Amino acid sequence: MRKTLRTVLFLSLLSTIPAVGAMPGAPDGTARVEVSCTRSSAFVNVSINSDRPIGKVVIEVVDEKGRTWYKEEGKALTPELVRRLDKGGFPKTAMTLKVTAKDFEVSRTFKVE
């Protein structure tokens, strides 16, 4: 009987403690950003996937010197966002894709050839 009472008290105490993911202000950081730029394609493919709707988002492509070559600001109401950028407007060098949203900020490097 005592063991059962202790178990019930312990379980009720555990149920009052919030999970780490449920804490207010805890960052999710659960976004997957992929960028592909192949020599055989005329496009830079960008894929952003999140566990929940992305919301306001800024997509930016900058070169090694920090110059902005592409910038898009918008709102994605779905958890997935796909873009195809014409790589003819980019110099043939290493570039960085920066994706900033409410829940995450991700940078990926790629090379335009």
25-111 CATH fold: Immunoglobulin-like (2.60.40)
- DSSP string for 24-54: TT-----EEEEEE--TT-SEEEEEEEESS--
- Rounded CA separation 87/99 (Å): 18
Q: pLDDT tens digits, residue range 4-24?
A: 545 444 444 433 333 333 333
Q: Dihedral sign for Cα 51, 63, 37, 71, please.
A: positive
pLDDT, position 36:
94
- Contact residues for 17 (Cβ-Cβ < 8 A; gap 6+): none
- Rounded CA separation 99/86 (Å): 18
Does 39 score more than 50 pLDDT? Answer: yes
Q: pLDDT tens digits, residue range 53-109?
A: 999 999 999 999 999 999 999 999 999 999 999 999 999 999 999 999 998 999 999
The residue extents of the domains of the chain are: 25-111
pLDDT, position 29:
55
